[in-house]
Amino acid sequence: MRLLLVEDDEDLGEGIRVALKGDGYTVDWLKDGASAVHALASETFDVAILDLGLPKVDGLDVLRQLRAGANPMPVLVLTARDATSDRIAGLDAGADDYLVKPFEVDELKARLRALLRRSLSRPQPVLELHGVRLDPATQDVSYRGQPVSLPRKEYLVLHQLLSQPGRVFTREKLEEALYGWEDAAESNAIDVHIHHLRRKFFPELIRTVRGVGYRVDKA
């Protein structure tokens, strides 16, 4: 699960980051609203934790911009303000849940699990292209009707590529989807995953765009 944490308080942010990383989340942490807007426009996350009081761009504005782009990702808002009007504003702007500071990290974890359960039970479209079929709800993959079993990371790479056919993904982009920004730095694992995927399906399924990255052709 790739999670975006937007929190300008160093201690709180670090506490959340460590706790969630320990629970297996890939956590990318930003400390102001402007970089959050940028990241949300260019990256894919499974869930976000968003502080409302942020430098540069307010958390509410980050949320409004996200929802204006019709991004359905679940967002949990953190607010220091216990005023009812702020909570209502957050929910109106498209938050799925909120926590008032200070809170227990266990409660944060429980709320996140609930959000993710809800979001995963939403119907997600089956991706079908070039004889390859990937069902995000069950994570079943098949090729020409035959089930194909994929390790987690190969599945994630294939999911990324199939979700936007025609788009070229750089190696870095694909690595981020797997590892987040922090751990993506030094790895040629993507090439290995691509190699395996080509063998399990067919070589031309994933095109190399020389000097740029990889793509799956549109049908």
- By CB under 5 A, residue 32 contacts Ca ion: no
53 vs 165, beta carbon nearer Ca ion: 53
Q: Could you tell me the two tokens for 161?
A: 């590529």
Shortest distance in whole angstroms from residue 43 CB to Ca ion? 22
In angstroms, give the least distance from the CB of 51 to Ca ion: 4
Q: Which stretch binds Ca ion (CB under 5 A): 3-11, 60-68, 117-125, 200-208?
A: 3-11
Q: Under the criterion CB under 5 A, does residue 8 sit at the interface with Ca ion? A: yes
Of 48-56, 109-117, 173-181, 193-201, the segment contacting Ca ion by CB under 5 A is 48-56
Helix (H) or strand (E) holding 39: helix 33-42
Tell me the torsion sign for CA atoms 141, 1, 4, 115: positive
- 12 versus 161: smaller Cβ distance to Ca ion: 12
| Interface with Ca ion: number of residues (CB under 5 A) | 3
- Beta carbon of residue 42, minimum distance to Ca ion (angstroms, whole number): 23
Edge-to-edge strands of the sheet including 97-100? 26-30, 2-6, 47-51, 75-79, 97-100
Question: Residue 86 interacts with Ca ion (CB under 5 A)?
Answer: no
Residue 49-68 contact track with Ca ion, rule CB under 5 A, x = bound: --x-x---------------
Residues between 165 and 204 with contacts to Ca ion, criterion CB under 5 A: none
CB hemisphere CA count around 67 (13 angstroms): 15
Nearest to 74 by CA among 32, 122, 34, 39: 122
User: Could you tell me if 92 and 62 are in contact, meaning their C-beta atoms sit under 8 angstroms apart?
Assistant: no
Give the CA count within 13 Å in the CB-facing half-sphere of 82: 4
Residues that bind Ca ion (CB under 5 A): 8, 51, 53
